[in-house]
């Protein structure tokens, strides 16, 4: 042990120094006219983000090549006097395809036809729906939670869209929204909190055979939210406000400055020649909120306070991360209705 300990301490110090030394900054993206943004921003490639406004319409923040601008995508209508209202953070299937659920529990799509944006109605499979997570593998796949506690899948069947019902996690109901990704080629993994406080993984292979697995929860804790990516890991927010990671077993990382974590971005991997770092950005509960970065690496972990935009006190939804070349940008909507960007040094 005496010969191993200095190596571990060196790696711990290197990991913390790598993260802490980055002097991140804030800038404002404003808001679309007089409308406040009320949801997290779903990230699409090529500098596009989508979020829901306080008027229940879909909005896009897009980089035109020379400047950022807001685009009002409105909302679909099942009749002239019956527009559909959006509520939650959208999810992105691929460039030109964004999905969202409505207040009355239907799934809708906003897609680029090649010449214009259009809405597509997917309805619901006999139960109202909440939230979504999207996977682009061999076929377009969107997962969402039914009000009846089931995991539902909307997928492209080759010539039309169809629904699959994957049922409930063993012994409990699906709770909250899902997080999903493709791993090892055709296998899809979906992570769902259960109403019993456990985390569940649903694996779906290329033959559409699905298997549930109960991943449990850390001792004396209950899972409230989950965010997962293939390269970044599986992180869950507990009901007590602590952030924990499942990687064959559970490890917890405490609370930033003893503050209760409210929600986090999806995790991602920072690959370095000296040390790889799994990281995510979180906001805590309270009347004065700041963004904290949690980084996990071989030999240790650490929280770094990235502060808040000037003039704001709280955030209205979780941070999301956009990648631009070697850089990562963090976007988060604040209580003044504006979207703010947290960006690292060297980012244009």
Average the pLDDT over 2-17 and give the result. 37
The answer to whether residue 339 scores a pLDDT higher than 50 is yes
The pTM for the full model equals 0.91
Q: CA–CA distance from 190 to each of 204, 230, 280, 293, 333 (Å)?
A: 8, 11, 19, 24, 26
The answer to whether residue 323 scores a pLDDT higher than 90 is no
Q: CA–CA distance from 82 to each of 76, 104, 241 (Å)?
A: 9, 12, 39
pLDDT of residue 10: 35
pLDDT of residue 87: 85
Give the tens place of pLDDT for each residue, 90-104: 999 999 999 999 999
The beta-carbon contacts of 171-176 under 8 Å, at least 24 apart in sequence, are 171/196, 171/214, 172/196, 172/198, 172/200, 173/148, 173/149, 174/145, 174/146, 174/149, 174/150, 174/200, 175/145, 175/149, 176/130, 176/131, 176/145, 176/224, 176/225, 176/226
Of the pLDDT bands very low, low, confident and very high (cuts 50, 70, 90), residue 50 is very high
Of the pLDDT bands very low, low, confident and very high (cuts 50, 70, 90), residue 22 is low
The answer to whether residue 214 scores a pLDDT higher than 60 is yes
Give the tens place of pLDDT for each residue, 292-317: 999 999 889 999 999 999 999 999 99
- Higher-pLDDT residue of 15, 46: 46
If you average pLDDT over every residue of the chain, what do you get?
Answer: 89
The answer to whether residue 41 scores a pLDDT higher than 50 is yes
Strongest mean pLDDT among 80-94, 220-234, 271-285: 220-234
The answer to whether residue 11 scores a pLDDT higher than 60 is no
| Domain covering 5-343 in this structure, CATH number | 2.130.10.10
Q: Where are the domains of the chain?
A: 5-343
Of the pLDDT bands very low, low, confident and very high (cuts 50, 70, 90), residue 140 is confident
Question: What is the C-alpha to C-alpha distance for residues 178 and 226, in angstroms, rounded to an integer?
Answer: 7
Of the pLDDT bands very low, low, confident and very high (cuts 50, 70, 90), residue 13 is very low
């Amino acid at each position: 042990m005496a010969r191993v300990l200095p190596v571990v301490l060196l790696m711990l110090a290197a990991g913390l120094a790598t993260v802490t030394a980055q002097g991140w900054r804030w800038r404002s993206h404003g808001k679309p006219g007089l409308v406040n943004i009320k949801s997290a921003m779903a990230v699409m490639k090529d500098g596009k983000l989508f979020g829901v406004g306080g008027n229940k319409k879909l909005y896009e923040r897009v980089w035109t090549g020379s400047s950022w601008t807001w685009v009002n995508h409105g909302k679909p209508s099942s009749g002239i006097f019956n527009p559909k209202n959006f509520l939650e953070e959208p999810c992105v299937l691929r460039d030109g395809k964004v999905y969202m659920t409505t207040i009355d529990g239907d799934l809708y799509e906003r897609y680029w036809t090649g010449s214009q944006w259009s809405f597509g109605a997917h309805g619901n499979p006999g139960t109202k729906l909440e939230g979504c997570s999207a996977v682009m593998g061999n076929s377009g796949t969107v997962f969402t939670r039914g009000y009846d506690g089931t995991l539902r899948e909307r997928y492209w069947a080759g010539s039309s869209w169809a629904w699959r019902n994957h049922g409930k996690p063993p012994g409990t109901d699906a709770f909250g929204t899902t997080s999903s990704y493709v791993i090892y080629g055709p296998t899809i993994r979906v992570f769902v909190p259960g109403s019993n406080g456990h985390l569940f993984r649903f694996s779906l292979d290329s033959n559409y055979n699905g298997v549930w697995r109960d991943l449990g929860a850390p001792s004396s804790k209950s899972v409230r939210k989950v965010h997962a990516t293939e390269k970044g890991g599986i992180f869950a927010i507990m009901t007590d406000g602590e952030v924990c990671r499942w990687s064959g077993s559970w490890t917890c990382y405490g609370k930033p400055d003893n503050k209760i974590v409210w929600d986090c971005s999806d995790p991602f991997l920072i690959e370095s020649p000296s040390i790889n770092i799994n990281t995510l950005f979180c906001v805590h509960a309270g009347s004065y909120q700041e963004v904290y970065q949690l980084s996990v690496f071989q030999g240790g972990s650490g929280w770094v306070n990235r502060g808040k935009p000037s003039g704001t006190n709280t955030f209205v939804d979780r941070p999301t991360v956009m990648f631009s070349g070697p850089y990562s940008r963090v976007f988060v909507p604040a209580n003044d209705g504006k979207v703010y960007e947290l960006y690292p040094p060297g980012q244009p």
